[in-house]
Amino acid sequence: MKDYGYVGDRITTLNSRSVPTDPLVLSESYYDPFGNLDCITKGAGSGDDCNPDDDATDAERANLLVDYDFDGLDRLKEYRSYNGSGAPQKDTDYVYDALSRVLEETESQPTRTTKFLYQGLTNQVTKEDQSGSSAKDKEYSYDAYGTRVSMTDVAANKTYTYGYDPHGSVSLLMEDLTTTPATVGVAKASYAYSPYGESNTTLSKKETGFSDPNPYLYSAFRSDPGSDSLDMGRDASVGRPPTHRSH
């Protein structure tokens, strides 16, 4: 269960609990002067907890849950998350090209770097090259209308075809004919979503033992593990506006 509080169109508070019998957990959101989400704290926190110094202690960060750092063009430059006691969990950095497309994403958990290649001047990602822990290279193809139609898991030499729901979200992932004919027509994974793009874990299914390599989900945007967000900057848990896109 989640209850949101707003000031204007900005989410400022979130009361949440996993099951009705759990106590409510309060978090608060703070914004920079340009309207970007600056940080998320526990209920006891304040805007002063945003952007801690690199040498800040765990105790000094005890109220901080997530911290965001944006560049001069309002693009997410660094994402940092904490465990609720001040200890760091994730630290992810982003590098952009002149068209504000993400060129490189470096994650601390797991330790890996992803480089993105695009189709000409478009935002259509044609390849993700990963290095480091849990690395998995992927290639993508598109139809004449710019819709992503397939993904190839390079290391596994498997190609998957996308199916979409009426809202343009990925609803189905099917193994392609050209890789393993014996599994033609077998759905490897199906997806369902909440209104803000969180996975509906009750309705979403995948084949037993299938390690799903697909990062593109709600509204066909990329689910970014480096910033726990959708569309590499749009937080699916609170529905905040996108800060940068790759689709």
How would residue 247 be classed by pLDDT, with cut points 50, 70 and 90?
Answer: very low
What does the alpha-carbon distance between residue 10 and residue 30 come to, in Å, rounded to a whole number?
9
| Single pTM value for the model | 0.86
SS3 95: strand
Q: Collect contacts of 219-224 with beta carbons under 8 A, ≥24 apart.
A: 219/167, 219/168, 219/169, 219/247, 220/147, 220/148, 220/164, 220/168, 220/169, 220/170, 220/247, 221/197, 221/245, 221/246, 221/247, 222/125, 222/246, 222/247, 224/105
Residue closest to 167 by CA, chosen among 148, 193, 206, 203 = 193
Please list, in sequence order, all residues whose beta carbon lies within 8 angstroms of the beta carbon of residue 137, skipping any fewer than 6 positions away: 127, 128, 129, 130, 153, 154, 155
What's the pLDDT score for residue 112? 93
CB of 33 closer than 8 Å to CB of 21: no
Q: Which residues contact 180 (CB under 8 A, 6 or more apart)?
A: 158
* Band (244; pLDDT cuts 50, 70, 90): very low
Residue-level pLDDT at 4: 82
Q: What is the pLDDT of residues 104-137, one digit of tens each?
A: 999 998 899 999 999 999 999 999 999 988 888 9
**pLDDT tens-place string over residues 176-233:** 766 555 555 678 999 999 887 888 999 999 999 999 999 999 999 998 989 888 775 4
Q: What is the pLDDT of residues 10-20, one digit of tens each?
A: 888 988 876 66
Q: Which residue has the higher pLDDT, 242 or 209?
A: 209
Burial (CB count <10 Å: 0-12, 13-18, 19+), residue 119: middle
Phi, psi of 157 (to 5 degrees): 55, 45
pLDDT digits 0-9 by tens, 5-57: 888 888 889 888 766 666 778 899 999 999 999 999 999 999 999 999 989 99
